[in-house]
């Protein structure tokens, strides 16, 4: 499985995107803290965090008996650079074409 695929798959679940949002608001939270924001058992949240870690979207650091979770925006940046960007360019050129057609009609 390629890196991009891990990231795309990780982003495919709404609970995981919500976790990213939580960490976006405030970093360095523990598992129990994140769990308290979700209607789900600790184990479910743990599994999701695992997927996010494997994709590199979350980086965790042990501190005593706690595990602190941090957001890593770099995979999303890379995804954008080598995949999403080109489709946005097409969107832009599509808009430009439409603009030209409208002007030709006038």
Segment contacting a copy of itself by CB under 8 A, of 29-37, 47-55, 80-88, 96-104: 80-88
CB 27 within 8 A of CB 62: no
Residue of 32, 41, 77, 100 that binds a copy of itself (CB under 8 A): 77
Beginning with the edge strand found earlier in the chain, give each strand of the sheet holding 58-63 in spatial order.
29-30, 66-71, 58-63
Cα separation, 35 vs 103, whole angstroms: 55
Q: Strands 29-30 and 66-71, how do they pair?
A: antiparallel
Distance, in Å, from the CA atom of 89 to the CA atom of 73, rounded to the nearest integer, reads 22
Give the residue, chosen from 44, 82, 95, 100, that forms a contact with DNA under the rule CB under 7 A. 44
Judged by CB under 8 A, the stretch of 5-13, 47-55, 61-69, 97-105 that binds a copy of itself is: 5-13
* Interface contacts to DNA, rule CB under 7 A: 9, 12-13, 15, 30-32, 40-44, 46-48, 51, 62, 64-67
* Interface contacts to a copy of itself, rule CB under 8 A: 2, 5, 8-9, 11-12, 14, 17, 20, 24, 71, 73-74, 76-77, 79-80, 83-84, 86-88, 90-91, 94
């Amino acid at each position: 499985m390629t890196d991009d695929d891990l990231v795309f798959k990780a982003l495919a679940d709404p609970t995981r995107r919500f976790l990213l949002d939580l960490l976006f608001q405030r970093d360095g939270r523990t598992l129990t803290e994140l769990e308290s924001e979700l209607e789900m058992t600790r184990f479910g949240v743990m599994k999701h965090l695992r997927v996010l870690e494997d994709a590199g979207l979350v980086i965790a650091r042990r501190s005593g008996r706690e595990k602190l979770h941090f957001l890593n925006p770099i995979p999303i940046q890379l995804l954008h650079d080598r995949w999403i960007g080109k489709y946005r360019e097409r969107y832009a050129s599509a808009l430009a074409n439409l603009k030209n057609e409208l002007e030709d009609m006038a």
